[in-house]
Amino acid sequence: MDFYTVLWREMVVLRRTFYKFFASRLVSPLLYLVAFGWGLGRGLKMNGGNYLEFVVPGIIALSAMNTSFNAVGITLNMSRLYHKTLEEYLIAPISAGAFVLGEVLAGTVRGLLASLIILALAFLFGARLAVNGWFLLVVVLTCFLFAALGVVAAMTINSHEDMANFSTFVILPMSFLCGTFFSPDRLPGAVAYIIEALPLTHASYALRALARGGELLPLSLAVLAAYAVVLFLAGVAVVRKVR
């Protein structure tokens, strides 16, 4: 239950700063919805449906990614390099696995909350999506794997500046290219091939298929689960190595 202590700390802070978190999580999805769903996409048809309903699962996927990655990555990187609060965990008798699980679950909670905010916003914008348990499971898996990526990045990148660079060169391109705003089959062959291997693409695919009519894509689900496991284990390994 050591992971719960790590999670407990994060939840104390989340509860205390909830309104700030809530307001900040409204802004970028709202802008995406206005720009792409409502402004650009009005009257646009995509794969036989309206564009708003096409784009909302993509926005959920990218927000899940951004929120979970940043929640863990930026704060843990600061904790390790600047505040040095990480030492408090390193001198405590808890395992690397418990520490990473606590951090990753905390990131997952934040990512899931951000995704629910978008679902509510999208509903107000008139999007009609089918949300079931599988849909939520895919969101959770997406949050989990990007929170774990946050741990790996935070523990291996040695400056805040490079942390920002990682976001710019890895996270930002994924936000736009991984099936979030348009289907990657429109991209040139080699690029599309790389995009198909990235986790966010499968998050977008899986969420879109489920939202449209509850179709489950087993391959995408398996890819997400595999990324989640591998990144979690990588996170545990890098925390262990820090001593």
Partner 1 sequence: MIELRRLTKHYGNIVAVAGLDLEIKKGEIFALLGPNGAGKTTTIRMLTMLTRPTGGMALINGYDVTRDLDKVKKEIGVVPQHMNLDQELTARENLELHGRLHKIPAPERRKRTEELLNYVELQDRAGELVSRFSGGMKRRLMIARALMHSPQILFLDEPTVGLDPQTRRKIWDLIRRMNGEGMTVLLTTHYIEEAEVLCHRVGIMDKGKLIAIGTPGELKQKVGEVVVESFGGRDTGYKFFAGREDALAYARHLEGDVLIRESNLEDVFIELTGHKVGD
Nearer to partner 1, 109 or 140 (CB): 109
Smallest gap from Cβ 233 to partner 1, in A, equals 21
DSSP secondary structure, the chain, as one string = -HHHHHHHHHHHHHHHTHHHHHHHHHHHHHHHIIIIIIIISTT-EETTEEHHHHHHHHHHHHHHHHHHHHHHHHHHHHIIIII-THHHHHTSS--HHHHHHHHHHHHHHHHHHHHHHHHHHHHHTT------HHHHHHHHHHHHHHHHHHHHHHHH--SHHHHHHHIIIIIHHHHHHTTTSS-GGGS-HHHHHHHHHSHHHHHHHHHHHHHHH----HHHHHHHHHHHHHHHHHHHHHHHHT-
Smallest gap from Cβ 205 to partner 1, in A, equals 37
Binding site for partner 1 (CB under 8 A): 2, 5, 8-9, 12-13, 16-17, 83-85, 87-94, 243
Short-list 217, 181, 177, 219, CA closest to 195: 177
Nearer to partner 1, 79 or 183 (CB): 79
Nearer to partner 1, 9 or 212 (CB): 9
Nearer to partner 1, 87 or 215 (CB): 87
Contact 184, 196 (CB under 8 A): yes
Smallest gap from Cβ 73 to partner 1, in A, equals 17
Smallest gap from Cβ 231 to partner 1, in A, equals 24
Nearer to partner 1, 17 or 47 (CB): 17
Nearer to partner 1, 154 or 209 (CB): 154
Smallest gap from Cβ 15 to partner 1, in A, equals 11
Smallest gap from Cβ 8 to partner 1, in A, equals 7
